[in-house]
Amino acid sequence: MKLKGITIDAITPQNEPLNPNNNPSLVMQAADQAVFIKNFLGPAFQSSGITTKIIVYDHNCDRPDYPETIFQDAAASAFVNGSAFHLYAGDIGAMSQVHNLYPDKQLYFTEQYTASTSQFSDDLKWMVKNVIIGSMRNWSRNALEWNLANDPSFGPHTPGGCTTCKGALTISGSSITRNVGYYTVAHASKFVPPGSVRISSTVTNVITTAAFMTADHKKVLIVENDDQAPDVINIRFNGKWVTTTVPAGAVCTFLW
């Protein structure tokens, strides 16, 4: 891949190591992943001068004990940059639990799919609330959807792969359809470039937010309204106020 001009920034030893139904895949317990990293993968990278990051776990937020177990193994942990999470089970706050125990280890959100059987409006607000805002408020350095693109039959994929998982784009010949994953990511990716840092913002029981300062000192505020009715919000920065209304179930990005 390097010969093709592709730089691999990071790898995980396996996608969803506690999922016995993935294909190709196998169950890999935390202790086994620690052994694999410290005795094989880590030394192989080191002896070959490979600087690609090793990121552990890459599975759901219901098992933060998995990366914690690996980090407790000093020999394995020495090779590891951080841990990665999905949100098909558990609570996004698990990422903060891992951060609080191991603040020197980075956190990444690496997968969440949207299904062909679900509603655009429901997926948009859930994904922005949990995957974009939720992961950012819990120390993640990124937020990734499931896949960039697929065809109208949700392929290509390996035998046994997901037959209802939508990519951000559906490509049919020369036709391109932008799906909910595209708009979910666009609320952040278009306005929060690499080098940005998250800054403080408040939330309510129906309004979730994440705020950022970009490298060129612009401010970005992503807002999701989880309410069944429109809500008026006040945006205050440096003593100045602006008031606006966020429609029910809507997502907005503000830039100044």
Residue 20 burial (C-beta neighbours within 10 Å; 0-12, 13-18, 19+): exposed
pLDDT in tens, 19-53: 998 877 889 999 999 999 999 999 999 999 999 99
pLDDT in tens, 63-83: 999 999 999 999 999 999 999
pLDDT in tens, 208-223: 999 999 999 999 999 9
Residue 23 vs residue 151, higher pLDDT = 151
- CATH architecture group of domain 1-111: Alpha-Beta Barrel (3.20)
